[in-house]
Amino acid sequence: MEAEAAPTPAPGGGCSVSAEEIEKWMEEAMQMAKEALESIEVPVGCLMVYNNEVVGKGRNEVNQTKNATRHAEMVAIDQALDWCRRSGRSPSSVFEHTALYVTVEPCIMCAAALRLMKIPLVVYGCQNERFGGCGSVLNIASADLPNTGRPFQCIPGYRAEEAVEMLKTFYKQENPNAPKSKVRKKECQRS
């Protein structure tokens, strides 16, 4: 197997990636999303890639941990921070040259975290029409937000149909961790 070139610095810092790299890393992110689906989690998977090495990866763990912040991106950020500690690297210097690949557009919370971590590039599959932070609901990625990190580039639409199909599959099944409906049924009144 031929080694692929590491992402090259983009103008102004950051990283650039080839179509081959996008396909390679999105395939792995899709596998993470499938693992999430099999674990009755919203099927989102992601990877953080620095110098052609996965330094963090994650899938949603919200239902498993009962912690609403355990989105795939947040799990991957934690792993990347741990990788930096073990490698003796500065997180800021690593994150400034790291690309994130994720199957679904990051939500507002995750987009804000990615911006604060100064991730320069996010490649994602389908849009997140309910919670998207890269343009679908809010554009955290490029908005003028003083003192909140750096705007980042987004490349949307890679394997979007496959990501949507996994989401549909998840939402068709019963989520055992979903809150019980609070809709009251009208009771019959007798005279």
| DSSP result, 38-80 | HTTS---EEEEEETTEEEEEEE--HHHHT-TT--HHHHHHHHH
pLDDT of 185: 53
pLDDT over 90 (residue 67): yes
Long-range contacts of 13-19 (CB under 8 A, 24+ apart): 13/96, 13/97, 13/120, 14/96, 14/97, 14/120, 14/121, 14/152, 14/153, 15/97, 15/98, 15/99, 15/120, 15/121, 16/121, 17/99, 17/121, 17/123
| Domains of the chain from N-terminus onward | 19-172 (3.40.140.10)
- Which residues does the annotation mark as catalytic? 73
Q: Evaluate if residue 9 carries a pLDDT over 60.
A: no
Strand partners, 121: 99, 153
pLDDT value at residue 28? 96
pLDDT of residue 175: 60
pLDDT of residue 174: 67
What's the mean per-residue pLDDT of the chain? 87
Structure tokens at 153: 């580039």
Q: What is the pLDDT of residues 71-127, one digit of tens each?
A: 999 999 999 999 999 999 999 999 999 999 999 999 999 999 999 999 999 999 999
The confidence band for 176, taking pLDDT boundaries of 50, 70 and 90, is low
pLDDT digit string (tens) for 21-32?
A: 999 999 999 999
Question: 180: how many CB neighbours lie within 10 A of its CB?
Answer: 5
What whole-number distance in Å separates Cα of residue 46 and Cα of residue 75?
Answer: 9
